[in-house]
A and B are shown apart, each in its own frame.
Chain A
Amino acid sequence: MTWFRILRLAVRALLRARLRTLLSVSGMAVGITAVAVLLGLGAGARQALQDTIEKMGRNLLTVNAWMSETNALRGTGRYVNTLVTADSEAVARQLPGIEAVSPVISGTRNLRWGGRTMNATVNGTTPEYRITKNHVVKGGRFIDEEDVCGGRRVAVVGDQIVRELFMGERPIGETLLVGRIPFTIIGVLEGKGTNPLGGNEDDQIVVPVTTAQRRVYNVDYLTRIFVQVASKDLLKSTTEALTDLLRNRHQTVDFKIVDQTALLAVQSENGASFRRMIGGLAGLALGLGGVGLLSVSLLSVRERRTEIGLQLALGARSRHIMVQYLVESLLVALIGGVLGLVMGACGIVMASSWTQWPARLSWDAVWQPFVLSLVIALAFGAYPAWRAARLDPIVALRSK
């Protein structure tokens, strides 16, 4: 009962000094708005990164056939032709924690259909390619084991090829000339657009690795191997195991392993510096809000000294006074916090619909500023409340 009544006293006191309350509430609101927007931008950027990683293949390591720098200096050949299908089979068989492995022979070829031509990336691979690169088959089917074993001339085409070569017509069942070799189109891939690393996967056609090696490129090696590991935590250890395995098999390091998750994380750091700047501003705004609250509360305690003296004369204990003034700060922070959240949410919605920044309203952007405002209220409200609570009754009563 006492505490409820003290809460009421605090509310009354805030209502009594409307202008003062309004000032400190708006100070808090501005700070909280800034923090909410910042968190929204951060969440948006994280989500964008997550989406990109999802699109490009989750937990993916790429083993590229690569000249070691010493070999390059010696000038021993332009291409490395030591990465082979047997390597990818060994990886799949021998390494733990691997989800899928797809060998790829890649190059550029001219495509021809119905009197039109275009250049495209021709990837020879296995059915696992769809898993490692997280491709969605929009129509028809992907290549399967039998296509690979039989070295069949079948192709799955990317979105851009459907658009540019087939002018958006359904291409399944059509015969496509890859160089001079005819392939039957069996499926269409969903488009992905360009990724932040500058890659475009929509201009590719996917064919069985066997067919590509024998008929398209006339080689027996691979360009790269995609390795998908079971979890993000395994990326580092698998990179090491993969290096050991291939170094053993090749007796040299003629490959380079790329962790695209790490690359993307570096990429997203560019946005982070911008966010750090906003973060600084948000911290500043919040700090100013806190200092505003502090000075307004101190002023309030000073102005209400006789009132405090009276409360003490009527039997209030220090903790009653302390709690009342803390509650006043908390209420200011709460109201300011809620206002700030609403304004921050509007800011996030506006930022995401009117600008390029991928802002996103996340649960974090709601509860974190909220908790923060309470913490600030306690931190900056504690001193004035303490000052109020330790007033001597007679000194307080006699002050004018």
Chain B
Amino acid sequence: MIECRGICKSYERPGEPRLDVLKSVDLNIEPGEFTAVVGPSGSGKSTLMNILGLLDRPDSGNYLLGGEPVSNLPHARLASLRNKKIGFVFQQFHLLPRTTALENVELPLVYADTDNISDRAAQALCRVGLQDRMTHTPAELSGGQQQRVAIARALVNDPEIILADEPTGNLDRESGAGIMALFQELNESGRTIIFITHDAALAARAGRVLTMNEGILAEEPAQPVGGVA
């Protein structure tokens, strides 16, 4: 599903030494995997996630998405891949303000140019348990509900991969647990999920945990569920 070889990313700012954020990252993700990425702040987790999600480009290295090399694709093709293959969930939810949950969820379908936009968006909202909040605007929803709307939006175009950058970072423990349960459900129905978290307990619920440390990605040995202090 995802194959990365030697992904490097660095930032250069005038008057400062070069900052190597990703130092030759190798990564293989198989379809249906449920992966957590952990690591200290500033270690490069989001940077990697953005590259995996085709929002950012690596300086060097190879990235195959579903077997297709994506390093040098034109903008339009990248947009189409983001639209069809990937669903994003962000820590800040990123919902359009003063816009109903339904219309927020419709957005990826607008750019996909498909029919039955409203029906499909409504189905996605049902899927995340918000069938009775469709006409609510973000201001009329709790944080957990807003993140559910964002997940429905990530799901609506039926992508193979869901990328979530600290999806529970802005939520209390209980809502966070609800979101994780939802991810688990989605994974059980066959979706590949990669998420970043600072919460070891949540990471432990993933089938696979990767640790990012100063731009170097390492596999964490499999642990029994709930076995983290």
Contact = CB atoms under 8 A, between A and B. Distances in A.
Interface of A: 1-2, 5-6, 9, 12, 15-16, 306-307, 310-318, 320, 393-394, 397
A310 B96 CA distance: 9
Contacts of B50: 394
The SS class assigned to the A binding surface is: helix
A312 B82 CA distance: 8
A64 to B, nearest CB: 76
Contacts of A318: 75-76, 79
Given A311-B111, A312-B82, A394-B55, 9 more contacts: A1-B114, A1-B115, A1-B117, A2-B110, A12-B98, A15-B98, A315-B112, A393-B55, A393-B56
A317 B75 contact: yes
A398 to B, nearest CB: 9
A382 B79 CA distance: 22
Interface string B40-69: 000000000010010110000000000000
Contacts of A394: 50, 55-56
Contacts of A313: 53, 55, 82, 88, 94
B111 A314 contact: yes
B123 to A, nearest CB: 17
Interface in B124-182: 153, 157
B99 interface: yes
Contact of B108 (A1, A314, A397): A314
Interface in B78-93: 79-80, 82-84, 88, 90
B186 interface: no
Specify which of B88, B96, B98, B112 lies most central, judged by the most chain A CB atoms within 10 Å of its CB: B96
A245 to B, nearest CB: 74
Contacts of A15: 98
- A5, A306, A313 — which one has the most chain B CB atoms within 10 A of its CB? A313
B56 A9 contact: no
B117 A5 contact: yes
A15 B100 CA distance: 14
Given A16-B98, A394-B55, A397-B55, A314 B153 contact: yes
A12 B107 CA distance: 13
A365 B56 CA distance: 51
Nearest to A315: B83
B221 interface: no
B113 interface: yes
Contact of A310 (B53, B80, B94, B106): B94
B97 interface: yes
A315 B84 contact: yes
**Most chain-A CB neighbours within 10 Å: which of B75, B99, B106, B110?**
B110
B108 A12 contact: no
Nearest to B103: A12
B113 A2 contact: yes
A306 B97 CA distance: 12
Contacts of B106: 5
Nearest to B114: A1
B110 A5 contact: yes
27 contacts: A1-B113, A1-B114, A2-B110, A2-B113, A5-B106, A12-B96, A12-B103, A15-B98, A16-B98, A16-B99, A306-B94, A310-B90, A312-B79, A312-B82, A314-B83, A314-B88, A314-B108, A315-B80, A315-B82, A315-B111, A315-B157, A317-B75, A317-B76, A318-B76, A320-B111, A393-B56, A394-B55
B71 to A, nearest CB: 15
Contacts of A306: 94
Contacts of B96: 12, 307, 310
A393 B115 CA distance: 26
A378 to B, nearest CB: 23
Nearest to A307: B96
Contacts of B107: 311, 314
Contacts of A310: 90, 94, 96
Nearest to B98: A16
Nearest to B57: A394
Contacts of B97: 16
Contacts of B113: 1-2
Nearest to A1: B113
A312 B86 CA distance: 12
Nearest to A5: B110
The 3 closest A-B pairs by CB, nearest first: A315-B83, A5-B110, A394-B56
B115 A314 contact: no
Nearest to B81: A315
Contacts of B115: 1
Contacts of A317: 75-76, 79-80, 111
A5 B88 CA distance: 21
